[in-house]
Amino acid sequence: MKYDLAIIGAGPGGYVAAERAGAKGLKVVLFEKKELGGVCLNEGCIPTKTLLYGAKIYDSAKSGSKYGVEANDLSFSFDKMMARKNKVVKKLVGGVGMKMKQFKVDVVNDAAMIQQRSAEGIEIEAGGNAYTATNLMICTGSEAFVPPIPGVQGNENILTNREILQLKEQPKSLVIIGGGVIGMEFASFFNSLGTKVTIVEMLDEILTGMDKGQSAMLRQMYAKKGIEFNLSSKVTKVDGTKVTYEKDGKTTEIEGDKILMSVGRKPVTTGFGLENLGVELFKGGIKVDEKMRTNIPNVYAAGDVTGFSLLAHTASREGEVVVNNLSGRPDKMRYNAIPGVVYTNPEISGVGLTEETAKAKGIDYKIAELPMAYAGRFVAENEGGSGSCKVLVGAKYGEVLGVHMIGNPSSEMIYGACMAIEAEMTLKEMEEVVFPHPTVSEIFKETVFSFGH
């Protein structure tokens, strides 16, 4: 039988597209050599959020006395935390499987190998069976990039996001190479549990891409909690559990029970016969246009494999763009309102232009920033806590260009800013929106009004 759409990779790009396409009546086959859900569900977003929530509860309990709650003899179980993580992952992976059944998606639990593009369509082999589809969507994702630093190859003390989630014991000390989103979230988790965490970051600030001022604010908060930050520091050598880095020409050696390598990710473009199609690559990822089309007709790509956004929600939307166009609804991918969230405690969230990118693009903008304490509920729930909300608007028309927040639960309210940017709302429209009171989200409204003050 011939499928309308074959999808290789069942991460948030692939399984969401399969669900949408199935719902629209397309005949879909989804190939996945591991578990459904991809990195996101199995070794990324979901397991880390599960662990971080455990750590957050522990943090809250520890600081209960600030709220008049005394919790004595407090303890946690690393094993139980890991076990709960596995349970959550299993439940959600099962949920994806149910959805695939509901929308009549054929799931093939085998490694797919693209054979060729023929008059029949695109031919794929998996588990000894042949499949043919009119369209192909590649969602093979990315894997941790391990840089060629001496002493890294074959070093069992070095972990990526995958291995660190399988730890049996909590390390006493952890060196994290790369202070990006992945590095900071694991740093937050292990710091809460009492592990001595040291971060080595090559750039002059952690969390590249987020608002620089708020990233610095977060770094200072964690420095107080005991994380050691080494910025502008380049790792030159790893020897067993010892990490050597260079800063301002000075060489320093630090040691950790374990070393987390989180310097970046690289698209997976080999091992599934991509070369048999002659798909063009760009900077290591699959080159796509705004409709996620590759250079080969009927072949699409979505998600990390394209090599630039590396976010689950980007992947899902990219997959939806493909399905929309296949089912007759013209759609284009837009990247100007993709939110970024870091689930540290407090969370940092942002969408749209940062001050840095606006400057670099030469966009004429105005900016307003208010402390989170302007929102009553934030004060009620964050004893001694601080945070901020920053809004960038166009200088001439006041359209919302970017919103950046540090403070809980910014991850849950940033979508409001996404909608404002997607809809090209200006301050005038924003001023007329009613926000629920009392919520932390009111900080967005307060900041919008502060432009007029």
Partner 1 sequence: MATPIIMPRQGQSVESCIFTEWTKEVGEEVKKGEALFAYETDKASFEQEAEEDGVLLAVFCEEGDEVPVLQTIGVIGQPGENIDEFSAGTAPAADAEVKEEVEEKPAEEKEEVKVVLKEKAEGEKVKISPRAKNLAEKDAVPYESIEGSGPGGRVIERDVKAYEASQPKMSPLAKEVAKAEGLEATGAGSGLAGTVKASDLGTNPVYADDFEIKKMPHIRKLIAKAMHQSLQNSAQLTHHLGADARRLLALRKEVKAKEGAPNITLNDMVCFAVIKALKQFPDVNAHFLGDSVKYFNKVHLGLAVDTDRGLMVPVIKNADDLSITGLCNQFKEVADACRTGSIDPELLSSEAASFTVSNLGNYGVEMFTPVINLPQVAILGVNTIVPRPKDIGDGVYGFVPYMGLSLTYDHQALDGGMATRFVKQVAIEIENLTFDY
Residues that bind partner 1 (CB under 8 A): 330, 332, 334, 394, 396-397, 399, 422-426, 428-429
Q: Quick one: how far is CA 298 from the chain centroid? A: 28
Closer Cβ to partner 1, 310 or 430, answer by number:
430
Tokens at residue 244, please?
A: 């050597």
CB of 339 to partner 1, least distance (A): 15
State the Cα–Cα distance between residues 11 and 17, nearest whole angstrom: 10
CB of 93 to partner 1, least distance (A): 32
Shorter beta-carbon distance to partner 1: residue 106 or 422: 422
Of 163 and 424, the one with the shorter C-beta distance to partner 1 is 424
What is the DSSP track for 169-227? Answer: S--SEEEEE--SHHHHHHHHHHHHTT-EEEEE-SSSSSSTTS-HHHHHHHHHHHHHTT-
Tell me the C-alpha distance between 321 and 292, whole Å. Answer: 7
Give the Cα separation of 263 and 143 in Å (integer): 11
Closest CB to partner 1 among residues 339, 394: 394
Please, what is the minimum distance in Å from the beta carbon of residue 320 to partner 1?
12
CA 263 to chain CA centroid, Å, is 14
- Kindly report each contact of residues 203-206 with a partner whose C-beta sits within 8 Å and lies 24 or more positions away, as own/partner: 203/179, 203/231, 203/232, 204/231, 204/232, 205/231, 206/179, 206/180, 206/231
Query: Nearest to residue 356, comparing CAs of 244, 226, 223, 211?
Result: 211
Q: How far apart are CA 36 and CA 109, in angstroms?
A: 9
Q: Which of 313, 404, 437, 453 is catalytic?
A: 437
CA angle 419, 385, 192 (to 5 degrees): 95
Rounded to a whole number of angstroms, the minimum distance from the CB of residue 343 to partner 1 is 27
Annotated catalytic, 437? yes
Nearer Cβ to partner 1 (133/321): 321
Cβ at position 413, least distance to partner 1 in Å: 19
For residue 280, what are its two tokens? 């063009």
Q: Which is nearer to partner 1, 272 or 444 (CB)?
A: 444
CB of 434 to partner 1, least distance (A): 17
Catalytic center residues? 437
